């Protein structure tokens, strides 16, 4: 237990110490996010937070001595993801090139012992052999989560808070099945993201950029495969899906929305959940806190699943989907009550 506390605390402290340095360097090097059509902020904001998150996480992992061949694969793959994201923050990279590098980064852990999901146990179907589809599934999973977290990084503190919640739930799940290495990694990630939030929550002093959001998604995707999916049970699939249920749902809606309009699915727009909450009259903080609550409820549903309380799990998921649909179809009305509360 003490080593768990050390992992989390070390990552938080590293983030608190390194992020101010990233702010200074970003201003000196001109790595800034300038206001624009899709931007919420009105002044240039440093966009080098991903470097602080990346360094905080790996320093916390290294000083605790939790390192093996598989984690080396994660380190190499995540470093590629971080560099590609940083390059995109400095000078935009074409979506196709980013996707190619994301796939390369997702493949690397295979050469360092990342287990392949060869078969999975499903209710009423017993064991289903995946064969080579196991490799494709893991690639799709990691690349999908990289882009899921990336697409959720639209408001101050949003991606960092969601990933903190997700990492803590995944820590609990990995620890429950006895995977200590995955537990340490998830705590370190939660600590790095949480420490960064002190500078990223509205009004943000720094953004994590693609280098940060893609890195967070990569670690969550890779470690969830290693720590949970290798249990080869339905629960191993349910937990990582539920803990990122909110951004995954937002991503699915984005793909459907853009395909319906015959636009490229890689084309950015202002139709995401956070944009629609702002359009309903909420402040950034209010919108972020609501999305935090939705993410927490998804994570809580995963916990109920583990305790075989499927009624509560399904109930929470249904409530979340009803709320998400209200937001997506612009039927969200709570902003009036929230606005009245802020005015008092």
Q: Is the peptide bond before 95 cis (omega within 30 degrees of 0)?
A: no
* Annotated domain spans of the chain: 2-343
What is the pLDDT, as a whole number, of residue 37?
61
126-129 and 45-46: which strand pairing? unpaired
Interval 111-127: pLDDT, tens: 998 877 666 655 555 66
Q: Is the pLDDT of residue 261 over 70?
A: yes
| pLDDT band of 344, cuts 50, 70, 90 | very low
Interval 29-38: pLDDT, tens: 999 988 766 5
Nearest to 171 by CA among 192, 150, 140: 192
What is the mean pLDDT of the segment spanning 78-86? Answer: 96
Phi, psi for residue 123 in degrees, rounded to 5: -60, 135
- One-character DSSP codes across 101-125: HHHHHHHGGGGGTPPP--EEEETTT
Q: Helical H runs in 108-179?
A: 133-152, 158-176
Interval 227-239: pLDDT, tens: 665 554 455 567 7
Torsion angle, CA of 19/12/182/85, rounded to 10 degrees? -10
Spatial separation of the C-alpha atoms in residues 154 and 247, rounded to whole Å? 11
Spatial separation of the C-alpha atoms in residues 313 and 308, rounded to whole Å? 9
What is the pLDDT, as a whole number, of residue 130?
66
Does an H or E element contain 36, and which?
none
Interval 314-329: pLDDT, tens: 999 999 999 988 888 7
What is the mean pLDDT of the segment spanning 81-90? Answer: 95
Instruction: Give the other-Cβ count within 10 Å of 225's Cβ.
Output: 24
45-46 and 32-33: which strand pairing? antiparallel
Contact residues for 165 (Cβ-Cβ < 8 A; gap 6+): 243, 292, 295, 296, 299
pTM, whole model, 2 decimals?
Answer: 0.89
Q: Which of 93-97, 130-134, 151-155, 306-310 has the lowest mean pLDDT?
A: 130-134
Burial of 172 (0-12, 13-18, 19+ CB in 10 A): middle
């Amino acid at each position: 237990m003490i080593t768990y506390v050390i992992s989390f605390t070390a990552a938080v402290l590293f983030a608190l110490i390194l992020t101010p340095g990233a702010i200074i360097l970003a201003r000196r090097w001109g790595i800034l996010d300038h206001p624009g059509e899709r931007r919420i902020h009105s002044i240039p904001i440093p966009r080098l937070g991903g470097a602080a998150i990346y360094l905080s996480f790996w320093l916390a992992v290294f000083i605790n001595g939790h390192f093996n061949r598989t984690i080396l694969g994660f380190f190499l793959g995540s470093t590629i993801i971080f560099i590609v994201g940083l390059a995109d923050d400095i000078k935009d990279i074409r979506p196709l090139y980013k996707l190619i590098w994301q796939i390369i980064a997702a493949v690397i852990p295979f050469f360092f012992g990342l287990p392949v999901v060869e078969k999975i146990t499903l209710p009423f179907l017993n064991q289903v052999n995946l064969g080579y589809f196991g490799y494709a599934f893991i690639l799709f999973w990691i690349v999908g989560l990289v882009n899921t977290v990336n697409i959720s990084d639209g408001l101050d503190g949003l991606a960092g808070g969601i990933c903190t919640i997700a990492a803590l739930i995944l820590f609990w799940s990995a620890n429950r099945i006895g995977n200590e290495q995955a537990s340490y990694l998830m705590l370190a990630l939660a600590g790095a993201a949480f420490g960064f939030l002190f500078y990223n929550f509205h009004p943000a002093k720094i953004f994590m950029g693609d280098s940060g959001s893609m890195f967070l998604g990569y670690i969550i995707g890779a470690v969830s495969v290693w720590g949970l999916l290798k249990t080869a049970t339905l629960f191993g699939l349910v937990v990582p899906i539920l803990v990122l249920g909110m951004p995954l749902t937002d991503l699915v809606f984005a793909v459907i929305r853009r395909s319906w309009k015959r636009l490229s699915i890689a084309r950015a727009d202002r139709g995401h959940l956070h944009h629609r909450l702002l359009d309903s009259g909420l402040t950034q903080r209010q919108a972020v806190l609501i999305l935090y609550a939705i993410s927490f409820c998804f994570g809580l549903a995963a916990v109920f699943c583990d305790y075989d309380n499927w009624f509560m799990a399904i109930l929470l998921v249904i409530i979340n989907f009803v709320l998400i649909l209200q937001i997506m179809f612009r039927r969200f009305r709570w902003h009036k009550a929230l606005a009245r509360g802020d005015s008092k």
